[in-house]
Amino acid sequence: MTPLELYRDKNHACLMFTDLIEDDGQAVQANQFLIVDDDTGAVIDPGGNLAFNELFMGMTRHFPPHKLSYLIASHADPDIIASLDRWMTSTKALLVISRLWERFAPHFTKVGKTENRVIGVPDGGGHLPLGRHELVILPAHFMHAEGNFHFYDPVSRILFTGDLGVSMMSGAEARVPVTDLQAHIPRMEAFHRRYMVSNKILRLWARMARQLDIAMLVPQHGAPIMGKQAISDFFDWIENLMCGIDLFDDRAYQYPTAFIDPVTRQMRPALRSVNG
């Protein structure tokens, strides 16, 4: 399928690829992004090896991959940059990633591939030049990774939020922006309760994000959240969500009683159901 055009004017485009990974339920659906400003291009969260071939081929129609300036990674998970070795081989792009992961990312590549090609971004983030404009790298630590960034594009007014605001759905469904947040919450809730680290972090982030003029929140899994009302509802929801360490207590740290059966790949006894 062709990428979804999140924004385009004559000098600037933001494209979202939603369905490069086979929809067989083994790997979580993931979005990859191409931003082009004049003759400069960047890929945000290029993805794992499953996405590489399709993304490389798919983007050629919009920007020559060998001219890419940056591979920008919100954090260092497999679905974000496991394909790093192949990108480092096929392009001259610099990897832009948190300073926390700067020395871990080279484990994804063959020896020497990342030499002098990594921009390690400090916790405070910064402004990264992109063509005639820039991309603002915003602190988003602990949402969920310890060193984590969001990317704000002042031209399209899109905030790329990595694993924040994600929803579980197919690649085809992810092409349809969400404008009614209430109906969308059931597809986001379980993920955010477990993968986000704490409510304190969500509140700190919302305070920063509310100051931006945002047309769309675009996550790395699932559909974009679009329009003033839905975005403001998202801030309200996330600010009040208990998650991660808020919900963990001594019950979560007990010596295990369950056995793993490698034949069925299930737990014995099976996880207790609600009525026990």
Write out the residues near Fe ion by the rule CB under 5 A: 77, 79, 163, 220
Write out 170-217 in H/E/C secondary structure: CCCHHHCCECCHHHHHHHCHHHHHHHCCCHHHHHHHHHHHCCCCCCEE
Dihedral sign computed on CA atoms, order 145, 227, 10, 222: positive
* Residue 70 near residue 121, CB atoms below 8 Å: no
Least Å from the CB of residue 4 to Fe ion: 18
Pairing relation of β-strands 158-160 and 216-218? Answer: parallel
Q: Inter-axis angle of helices 199-209 and 228-239, to 10 degrees?
A: 150
Q: 156 or 167, CB closer to Fe ion?
A: 167
Q: Give whichever of 7 and 195 is closer to Fe ion, judged by the CB atom.
A: 195
Which residue number, 79 or 85, has a Cβ lying nearer to Fe ion? 79
Host H or E run for residue 232: helix 228-239
Measured CA to CA in angstroms, residue 140 lies from 74, 127, 129, 170, 175 at distances of 9, 15, 20, 26, 24
Closer residue to Fe ion, CB minimum distance, 32 or 220: 220
Is 63 or 142 the residue whose CB approaches Fe ion more closely?
Answer: 142
**Least distance to Fe ion from the beta carbon of 81, Å?**
10
Least distance from C-beta 143 to Fe ion, angstroms?
9
**In the complex, minimum distance from the CB of residue 194 to Fe ion, in angstroms, rounded to a whole number:** 12
CB of 185 to Fe ion, least distance (A): 19
Nearer to Fe ion, 47 or 131 (CB): 47
Q: How far is the CB of 139 from Fe ion (least distance, A)?
A: 16
C-alpha triplet 269, 273, 276: angle, nearest 5°: 85
